[in-house]
Amino acid sequence: MTTGRSIVLGLVLFLAGLLLGGVSVPTTVGQPAAAPAAGQPVSGGRYQMQVVAREPYSAMFLCDTSTGQCWYRTTHPEEKKWVDKGTPAAPAK
């Protein structure tokens, strides 16, 4: 075997090892999980947020999916607190 063929064979084996090793190793604690495939549904977390961008001020709704509790806040400079909207069973007054 010539030196050139030995180098090519070594390189091919090295790249195959990298490829197969990367596929077979599970994710570690510090490594984020792979993103779901396009078009696949993503399960939501406990809190869901919706931002409504309107002029002159935007609004944000935050809902706790476990309890149904919802909060509301705008970007108006004078409104600095979250407004409790209650739950579907017991709306805030």
Q: What is the pLDDT of residues 10-51, one digit of tens each?
A: 888 888 777 776 666 565 666 666 666 676 666 677 888 889
Per-residue pLDDT, 70: 93
Strand 83-86 relative to strand 47-52: parallel, antiparallel, unpaired? unpaired
Residue 22, in any domain of the structure: no
Domain holding 68, by residue range, is 45-93
Rg (CA), the chain: 26
**Tokens linked to 6:** 């030995």
Do 72 and 59 form a contact (C-beta atoms < 8 A)? yes
Q: Is residue 78 part of a domain?
A: yes
Question: What's the token pair of residue 51?
Answer: 């931002």
pLDDT range class, residue 55, cuts 50, 70, 90: confident
In a domain, 92, yes or no: yes
Please indicate, yes or no, whether the overall pTM of this predicted structure exceeds 0.75. no
Sorted by sequence, the CB contacts under 8 Å of residue 62 that are 6+ apart come out as: 47, 48, 49, 70, 71, 72, 73, 82
